Amino acid sequence: MSLTQNYELRHTAPTQDYAAARSTRVGFEFLMLLGPCMLFGAIPFQWSAGIPVGDFSVSPFHVAALYCFIVFLADLRHVQALMMIVKQTLLTQLSIVGYLFILALSIMWSPNEIVGIAITVKYVLIYMLSLTVAAIIKTRRQQFTISMAYVAIPLSILCFFLNACFVFHLEGQNFPLEVFEGLKTGSLDHLLHHVVNPLLMQTESVEAAEINNIKLVAKNSFAAGLFTLFCVARMAPKIRTKSTIYRMLRIGRFLLLLFFLASILLLGSRMALAAAVFCLVTESIVDSSRGFKGVMRVAFTLALVCTLITVAILSSDDNRLVSGVNEISIGRFEQIGSDSRWNNYKMAVYESQDDIMYGKGVGAYLPDRKRVHNNFLGGAYEAGLFGFLTITAIYVLLWFDALRSLMIRMRIHRRLANAELWSLLVLIMPLAHCLIAGDSGRFTNAEWLCIALFWAFHLDYKADPGPSENELVNRIAKPA
């Protein structure tokens, strides 16, 4: 072998090995990211009927949760990330564990022990799932935001649309025609009762279904899930590149964000709508502090919103669209003072007086078979004084963690990246929604995923500051 041939062999062999190792690593990272991406993408399927598989019905959300537990064990970095999360939020984690312990004790005097066990086990699993997802995302944060914004969420909406078509087909109806009919007539009442409700009807609980056979339209929880997806879609970094494909993806994401806002508006969820407006205003303030480009972005956004509202008003006959939006969504803010939930609060306080120390037991309903619709009162009603104290501790410590994260950011003089800003804003949903819509005294699945996003992006910046947004942009736009 000549000297030249020997040099070429020694020069090319490591390169081929490196390429093979890099391809393997990319495939491994894809399998790891698939778990949380599937989980967030399956949020809209929580309140719809499961996908029929033979004689069984499979929930995509449960399948994604199981996959997350499996992939968590496949990478030791996940354990290190989990330990960091627990270390930085130790008091919060202890408060959650304390509430779970008290909840488990209340099973002994629960009106239905089987239902109480099921609720407790479910809550323990969703808490463990949130920690698992936070650890997986923390290990590969940038890849997660890009994958969710441009791949997972669009595929999720497409799959939900196909599932809706299938559900309506089983009932002898056509989903696109029903949507088109509602839009054509400008009747939001038709969209709500003939399009949304048939997809989201579910039994409130096993116990309630056996007694009253009632159904619950989970549109408020569904709107909270859409708000979560809206925030996740906004977390993607701003990449400056001349790629045509990426520009098309950005346009698609922009249309998807408008779709989420329109859906939240039409679903009539006051909390989700108020949270979305608050987050957009906050983002505008942050952008306006970033110089002339930020101010121009704010002006463009406001001009676009005003244009859309003007077109909607002028294109609707007799302003039916506007009156429909006011009746179903915006007008509901005028009903806060006369909302039936105030009666639930009074009834919960009155009924808890005799069992102030221990509560009625996990899974207990109000005498009129309704939920309390407040996490603090719901915790006191089910688990007594200790339940109320532990839930209050969780709430206060989550706020403390969020404020501490901002203070650390200010101390190290680093600007909030896009993902960090929206992973902080997404906390608005669990921390505000629990005050007026905590149906069972606990966070919902989507709200736990919001907390998981916060844990993944906001911890010890001194130990793990991560790359800045400009570094991330250059890394993605010019891959090695």
DSSP-assigned letters across all residues of 230-285: HHHHHTS-------HHHHHHHHHHHHHHHHHHHHHHHHT-HHHHHHHHHHHHHHHH
More confident position, 334 or 272: 272
- Lowest-confidence segment of 245-259, 343-357, 408-422 by average pLDDT: 408-422
Task: Return the structure tokens found at 15.
Answer: 């390169």
Which of 153, 126, 149, 137 lies closest to 44 in space, CA to CA? Answer: 153
Q: Is the pLDDT of residue 452 over 90?
A: yes
Q: Is residue 254 in some structural domain?
A: yes
Q: Is residue 4 in some structural domain?
A: no
Q: Is the pLDDT of residue 432 over 90?
A: no
* Mean pLDDT of the region 265-286: 78
Q: Is residue 427 in some structural domain?
A: yes
Q: Is the pLDDT of residue 230 over 80?
A: yes
Per the rule left: phi > 0, alpha: psi between -120 and 50, beta: everything else, 112 is beta
Task: Return the structure tokens found at 110.
Answer: 């629960």
Q: Position 92: which residue type? A: T
Q: How far apart are CA 444 and CA 422, in angstroms?
A: 19
Q: Residue 262 is part of which domain span?
A: 18-49+56-333+348-477
Q: How far apart are CA 319 and CA 180, in angstroms?
A: 18
Q: Is residue 104 in some structural domain?
A: yes
3-state SS, residue 146: helix
More confident position, 318 or 453: 453
pLDDT confidence band for 90 (50 / 70 / 90): very high
**Per-residue pLDDT, 262:** 81
* Mean pLDDT of the region 259-281: 80
Q: How far apart are CA 366 and CA 387, in angstroms?
A: 17
Q: How far apart are CA 270 and CA 72, in angstroms?
A: 36
**Per-residue pLDDT, 430:** 85
Query: What does the mean pLDDT of the chain come to?
Result: 75
Q: Is the pLDDT of residue 397 over 90?
A: yes
Q: Is residue 109 in some structural domain?
A: yes
pLDDT confidence band for 454 (50 / 70 / 90): very high
**Per-residue pLDDT, 92:** 93
Q: Position 161: which residue type? A: F
**Per-residue pLDDT, 447:** 87
Helix pair angle (320-328, 244-267), 10° resolution: 70
Q: How far apart are CA 267 and CA 70, in angstroms?
A: 35
Q: Is residue 6 in some structural domain?
A: no
- Lowest-confidence segment of 66-70, 278-282, 303-307 by average pLDDT: 303-307
Give the tens place of pLDDT for each residue, 297-324: 666 666 666 665 555 545 444 444 444 4
In eight-state DSSP terms, residue 467 is -
Give the tens place of pLDDT for each residue, 368-382: 777 777 888 888 888
Q: How far apart are CA 419 and CA 426, in angstroms?
A: 10
Q: Do 452 and 128 touch, CB atoms closer than 8 A?
A: no
More confident position, 26 or 289: 26
Q: Is the dihedral angle over the CA atoms 467, 469, 475, 476 positive or is it negative? A: positive
More confident position, 429 or 334: 429
Q: Is the dihedral angle over the CA atoms 204, 205, 207, 210 positive or is it negative? A: positive
Q: How far is CA 270 from CA 171, 398, 429, in A?
A: 31, 23, 11
Residues 6+ apart with CB under 8 A from 394: 92, 95, 96, 99
**Per-residue pLDDT, 22:** 63
pLDDT confidence band for 271 (50 / 70 / 90): confident
Q: How far apart are CA 103 and CA 116, in angstroms?
A: 9
**Per-residue pLDDT, 465:** 45
Burial class (CB in 10 A: 0-12, 13-18, 19+), 150: buried
Most confident region among 199-208, 357-366, 454-463 by mean pLDDT: 357-366
Q: How far apart are CA 152 and CA 134, in angstroms?
A: 17
Domain count, the chain: 1
More confident position, 243 or 402: 402
Q: Do 138 and 83 touch, CB atoms closer than 8 A?
A: no
**What pairing do the DSSP bridges indicate for beta strands 201-202 and 216-217?**
antiparallel
Q: Is residue 169 in some structural domain?
A: yes
Q: Is the pLDDT of residue 475 over 50?
A: no
Q: Is residue 338 in some structural domain?
A: no
- Lowest-confidence segment of 145-154, 242-251, 341-350, 460-469 by average pLDDT: 460-469
- Lowest-confidence segment of 97-101, 185-189, 203-207, 410-414 by average pLDDT: 203-207
Tokens 């408020």 locate to 220
pLDDT confidence band for 173 (50 / 70 / 90): confident
Output the pTM of the full model: 0.81
More confident position, 284 or 3: 284
- Lowest-confidence segment of 33-42, 143-152, 354-363 by average pLDDT: 354-363
Q: Is the pLDDT of residue 33 over 60?
A: yes
Q: Do 236 and 476 touch, CB atoms closer than 8 A?
A: no
Q: How far apart are CA 204 and CA 214, in angstroms?
A: 7
Q: How far apart are CA 215 and CA 162, in angstroms?
A: 24
Give the tens place of pLDDT for each residue, 317-359: 444 444 444 444 444 444 444 456 677 778 888 887 777 888 8
* Mean pLDDT of the region 17-21: 60
Give the tens place of pLDDT for each residue, 192-225: 677 777 777 554 444 444 434 344 456 777 888 8
